[in-house]
Structure 1
């Protein structure tokens, strides 16, 4: 993000976005650790958010850096915006302007939209593209591409501001949103 306005904070969905559960064991999602390290170097506060129990959240987040805080929705039902606001308060975010939510979970993305955040949908992490499911594994490459295309359209219909396939494309997407912000666009 060269010369782009700094982002106030980035919220991430935990399941599917930052962590994948392969054979029951959590693993960092492709690009998750590099993305988090890059944001940390830029001093952009980050936090993960999920509606799991505290124990489940801690188990999944155990594969992520120790410095990354997490926020469990504590009974707040998505798409209510409260969980996003509470997560931002947990990291002492100074304002909503410039806060971004990244997830493939439609209900969490709707929470981010309701909270007034910029939202980035991860098509490959959406429910229709469950990379670990047997149904996904049984699809041809063309069927997988069609499913990803359908997920992209569903996320745009939801109203998200940008859609990318995976976290490896996040930096380019954040640069685009920074340009939109510089032009005065609001979420």
Structure 2
């Protein structure tokens, strides 16, 4: 079978996925800036999504590259597919084939599934691992592993296509999805 076409677009959840709040100030999550830079280098259009108000979303996204567009608020609440479709239309995506949504939010991931996108769940920022940095660090290694395992199972039970711990593993995950696409698999 021939090579799958390049990824059409990658959508990201904003809170927890690309940005975390630390001491009330937003910070990029580990691996977020590298993942975005790599996708931009490959000329893959990207956008973040969140249900926050536009001003709240822009405030959080202020730590992300200026070139990265975002979409805050939503007339149809998640898990309706509309937010994903509107984001893809904003990016002028020509097709759904090759579009990916990355998030730890089960409702946003369900929205991506409902929209017909490939989905990548982030276990470390899912509700099962929703701990402040201090709480997370205070947990034993075993407790953190149990939380990640629980999150992984919950995300797979939604029907997501892949689950990774954090964005630092996104390149490997996207390579796996590209391989699956080459074999003819569809989301």
Unaligned runs of 5+ in 1: none
Which residue of structure 1 lines up, in the alignment, with residue 182 of structure 2? 182
Q: Please state how far the C-alpha of 1:127 moved relative to its aligned partner.
A: 1.1
Contact 1:78/1:107 (CA < 8 Å) preserved in 2?
yes
- Confirm whether residue 60 of structure 1 aligns to residue 60 of structure 2: yes
Question: Once superposed, which parts of structure 1, at least 4 consecutive aligned residues long, lie more than 6 Å away?
Answer: none
Match of 1:93 in 2: 93
Instruction: Return the TM-score normalized by structure 1.
Output: 0.95
Residue 172, structure 1, aligned to residue 172, structure 2: yes
1:51, 1:75 within 8 Å by CA — same for their partners in 2? Answer: no
- Tell me, yes or no, if the aligned pair for 2:22 and 2:133 is still in contact at 8 Å: no
In the TM superposition, residue 173 of structure 1 has moved relative to its aligned partner by: 0.4
TM-fit CA distance, 1:75:
3.0
Counterpart for residue 113 of structure 2 = 113
Deviations 1:9-32 (A, max 9, x none): 000000000000011100000000
8 Å CA contact retained: 2:103, 2:120: yes
CA displacement, residues 137-167 of structure 1 (integer Å, 9 cap, x when unaligned): 4321110110000000000000000000000
| Counterpart in the other structure of 1:5 | 5
Range that drifts further, 153-162 or 138-147: 138-147
Determine the structure 1 residue equivalent to 2:128: 128
The unaligned stretches of length 5 or more in structure 2 are none
Matched residue of 2:27: which SS?
A: strand
Q: Which residue of 1 aligns with 2:142?
A: 142
> How many Å separate the matches in 2 of 1:143 and 1:44?
37
Distance in 2 between residues matched to 1:152 and 1:34, nearest whole Å: 23
Change in 2 beyond 3 A, CA 1:5/1:131: farther
What's the TM-score, normalizing by structure 2? 0.95
| RMSD value, Cα | 1.2
In the alignment, the residues of structure 2 paired with residue 32 and residue 136 of structure 1 have an alpha-carbon distance, to the nearest angstrom, of 19
